[in-house]
Amino acid sequence: MNDEKKSSWERLYSSGAVESLPWFYPGLDPDFEQALESWGISGGQALDLCTGPGTQALALAQRVYRVTATDISGSAVEKASRLAREKGLEIAFQQNDIMDNRLERVFDFVIDRGCYHVFPLEQRAKYVPAVADLLKNGGLLLLKCFSNREKRSDGPYRISPGEIKKLFSSLFQIESIKHTVFQSGDGGREPKALFCVLRKRR
Ligand SMILES: C[S@@+](CC[C@H](N)C(=O)[O-])C[C@H]1O[C@@H](n2cnc3c(N)ncnc32)[C@H](O)[C@@H]1O
């Protein structure tokens, strides 16, 4: 990831309240909640990739999972880490660039809420082996991104089910891809999204 991109995320998180960011969702995103239940993931080591405000990591830690949470922005990690301490939750926060991964361990499952879709196509292709390296064999990647059905002009890249199948199939079994939305939690706009369950091949 180039320095300009890195510092734009850092500027964003160092300059204002995380609650005002458009992706801020105070509890566990309902699609992740449903997937954890229907796939019977009732414990284990979780990674919240690109944790940002850290709300998903906190919600997972409140539900018995042992959680690591990473983001490219040091300020995001610092703010989320402070919030976890205030709530008495133990989460291993670490600044990490998924495009230049320094984490040397693997997880039972990884959640990605709005990370994959921030990268242009050539980086999305690099993301796939990078995230596979962070999963145990047979582990699940739960990934939520903007879908190509979303018609607004701004925002992140739009992803089609066909792209997911094309880029992930060599390293992941495609368990499911469903059309959904990014729930706003406050009655605001709800961009169209894909929610994907991908299993790392053994
Ligand atoms: C749309 S936000 C989603 C944040 C969080 N997952 C959530 O749902 O609230 C995307 C996040 O990706 C992080 N990010 C961008 N590029 C990254 C990279 N190369 N490595 C790790 N994190 C990155 C940003 O700092 C930002 O927090």
Q: Given this model, what pLDDT does residue 117 score?
A: 98
54 lines ligand 1 (CB under 6 A): no
Q: Given this model, what pLDDT does residue 6 score?
A: 72
Measure 187 CA to ligand 1 centroid, in angstroms: 23
Count other C-beta atoms under 10 Å from residue 90's C-beta: 9
Measure 184 CA to ligand 1 centroid, in angstroms: 17
Cβ contacts of residue 16 below 8 Å, gap of 6+? none
For the CA atoms of the chain, what is the radius of gyration? Answer: 16
CB 45 within 8 A of CB 66: yes
**Which CA distances in Å does 28 have to 24, 56, 123, 193?**
11, 5, 27, 16
Report d(CA 65, CA 79) in Å as an integer. 21
* pLDDT tens per residue across span 142-201: 999 999 999 998 999 999 999 999 999 999 999 999 999 999 866 678 999 999 999 999
Report d(CA 181, CA 126) in Å as an integer. 26
* pTM tops 0.85, yes or no: yes
Q: Given this model, what pLDDT does residue 9 score?
A: 97
68 lines ligand 1 (CB under 6 A): no
* pLDDT tens per residue across span 103-147: 999 999 999 999 999 999 999 999 999 999 999 999 999 999 999
* pLDDT tens per residue across span 64-81: 899 999 999 999 999 999
115 lines ligand 1 (CB under 6 A): yes
98 lines ligand 1 (CB under 6 A): yes
Position 100 pLDDT exceeds 70: yes
Domain residue extents for the chain = 27-175+190-200
1 lines ligand 1 (CB under 6 A): yes
198 lines ligand 1 (CB under 6 A): no
Report d(CA 174, CA 154) in Å as an integer. 28
Q: Among 4, 70, 71, 99, name the best residue to mutate to test ligand 1's pocket (greatest count of ligand atoms within 8 A of Cβ).
A: 71
Measure 38 CA to ligand 1 centroid, in angstroms: 26
Measure 50 CA to ligand 1 centroid, in angstroms: 4
The CATH number fitting domain 27-175+190-200, selected from 3.90.76.10, 3.40.50.300, 3.20.20.370, 3.40.50.150: 3.40.50.150
Q: Given this model, what pLDDT does residue 187 score?
A: 67
Q: Given this model, what pLDDT does residue 188 score?
A: 77
